[in-house]
Structure formats: C-alpha cells, structure tokens
Amino acid sequence: MGEPKAKLLATRSRAPSLRRRPPPPLDLGVALFLDIDGTLIDLAASPELVRVDGAVAARLPELAAELGGAAALITGRAIVDADRLFPALNFPIAGQHGAERRAADGSIHRHRLPMPGFNQLRRELERFAARHDGVYLEDKGATLALHYRQAPRLASHVHRTLRAQLAIGTGGRAWRLQPGKGILEVQQDGRDKGTAIADFMKETPFRGRLPVFLGDDLTDEYGFTTVTRMGGWSVKVGPGTTCASYRLRDVAAVRNWLAGPLLARTADV
C-alpha cells in the first residue's frame, strides 16, 4: 500500500463512524464541488440507469451563477458520460477521479499515464464479466471499473481477480485499485478527487474561496482530506466512517440543502 493511501485510511480509521451535524448554509464566498452518483442523484443498479431529478438539474446553473462560476462536478464518471446526464450544464468538471478535467475556461486537462498491458487487462476483465451474471466491466478510457452491485456475493472473487490480473499485466506500477459501493476500479496512482479539487482551487473563479465538497463514497475521502486541509467544509452523504467534518443523511437532504438561499459571507464555522 502506498504511503498516501495508508495515511488516508489511517485518518478514516480514527474518525467517528457517525457524525450527525449538517453543514452550515451555503454562502456567497464558497467554491462548491459536488460528486454525482450517490450525492446529486440516487444510485442505480448500473450507471446508465440513474435518473436526474429535474429540480437538481435546474438548481445547479443557478448555484453556479450565484457563486460567480465557482462550482464544479467531481466524479468517477468520464466527462462525456457526465455531460449526457446534464446536457445543458457545461460545468467545470473532473472526470475519472481526476484523470481528466475541464476547467472553468473550457480547457481540457488530461493526466493519462502509459499503462503496459492495459488492453490485455481489459480483455481479461471482459471475459471475467461475461462469465458471471450481475458483473460487468465499464471502460472509461483512462480507468477500468468492475461493477458487482447486482452480485454482491461475488465481491471477494472480484477483488481477488482484479488484484491478480493487475499484478500480472502491469506489475501494479503507477496504478492502484480503488474500492467503492459495489465497484472496484483500476485508477492512476497520484490522481484522485483531492488532486482535482486542488487543481481547481489554483484557478479563476475558485481561487481565494472557501472549498466545500460533498461526496458519498470511499473515493470521495481523498477530496474530504484535501478540502479539510484547506480549511473548507467536507460533507459526507449517507452512513459510514469518514474523515468529513459534516454529514447529510441522503440525496434528498443534499437537494434540500442546495435549494436553500445563499447567505452573505460569514465567519468560518
């Protein structure tokens, strides 16, 4: 296990399993970062089956305008996939856990390392998924994800298989396995939701604002760590151990919180 990941897990292990305090109301001085699945929209059996609430789709551009453009999506989905969910939004966005990023000025930044054996790994995982009902492979371009939410009994088998295949095909160099809710992904080491948020915070219109990040899954812990280090608000959606400072109960609570009026800049809480 690499040192950054070990530190992250150690931080999470020290955090209380339940924190019930909701975040303060949003104000005009924040930079808002939002995960998609499990945060803005409810999870579904597979990513293509999710449904976007019309009120959320309408509220996001309003929030962006109120914040002077300082709002971005931070997701494990590919950017092109997220754009299909929100076709009229054209938000700044980090996709594939920071492997690709569209800045506020529309420029695209890609962080794709060469991966020896990537094509072979994809073929092996395609064959594995074809042999097991309820398991399917998602090729996002810079990352690969095995979904097993519909076959939870296969969780340990999926993890063992992907670890073995990654070691055989690439030797594990510059890549890591990232677990999530019914999913296991092959991702680039050194890129995550935290590094994506840090990149945004160096740029206009995010620079100088208080970062606020909402997420629900293990991959979001990297973002929570980064935002907390910057003095911002990290908000865990749903149950589970977390290093986040605040918690919202579920997607419905997120929608209600985002629907509230933005206040004039207040002192840090």
User: What pLDDT sits at residue 14?
Assistant: 44
- Ranges 10-19, 212-221, 235-244: which has the least confidence: 10-19
| Whether 37 is catalytic | no
Q: What is the pTM of this model?
A: 0.84
User: What pLDDT sits at residue 142?
Assistant: 81
User: What pLDDT sits at residue 231?
Assistant: 97
Distances (CA, A) of 176 to 77, 97, 109, 141, 189: 17, 12, 21, 16, 6
The pLDDT of 58-85, averaged and rounded, is 96
Summarised one tens digit per residue, pLDDT across range 104-134 is 999 999 987 666 677 888 888 999 999 999 9
- pLDDT category at 4 given cuts 50, 70, 90 is very low
The pLDDT of 225-253, averaged and rounded, is 97
Nearest to 95 by CA among 219, 250, 236: 219
Per DSSP, what are the bridge partners of residue 234? Answer: 213
Helices (H), 48-203: 54-66, 79-85, 118-131, 155-170, 193-201
CA 191, 228, 108 angle in degrees (round to 5)? 35
Summarised one tens digit per residue, pLDDT across range 35-70 is 999 999 999 888 888 999 999 999 999 999 999 999
User: What pLDDT sits at residue 140?
Assistant: 87
- Kindly state the percentage of the chain with pLDDT values over 70: 87
Residue 226: DSSP 8-state: H
The pLDDT of 11-38, averaged and rounded, is 79
pLDDT of 200 higher than 90: yes
Given 35, 37, 81, 83, which residue is catalytic?
A: 35
- pLDDT category at 103 given cuts 50, 70, 90 is very high
Summarised one tens digit per residue, pLDDT across range 175-196 is 789 899 999 998 878 899 999 9
Question: Which comes out higher in pLDDT, residue 27 or 111?
Answer: 27
User: What pLDDT sits at residue 100?
Assistant: 95
User: What pLDDT sits at residue 3?
Assistant: 43
At a CB cut-off of 8 Å and minimum separation 6, what does 35 contact? 73, 74, 75, 193, 213, 214, 215, 216, 217, 220, 223, 237
Where do the domains of the chain lie, and which CATH numbers do they carry? 3-110+191-259 (3.40.50.1000), 118-188 (3.30.70.1020)
Question: Which comes out higher in pLDDT, residue 163 or 94?
Answer: 94
- pLDDT category at 5 given cuts 50, 70, 90 is very low
Phi/psi at 109 (5° precision): -120, 125
- pLDDT category at 171 given cuts 50, 70, 90 is low
Average pLDDT, the chain: 88
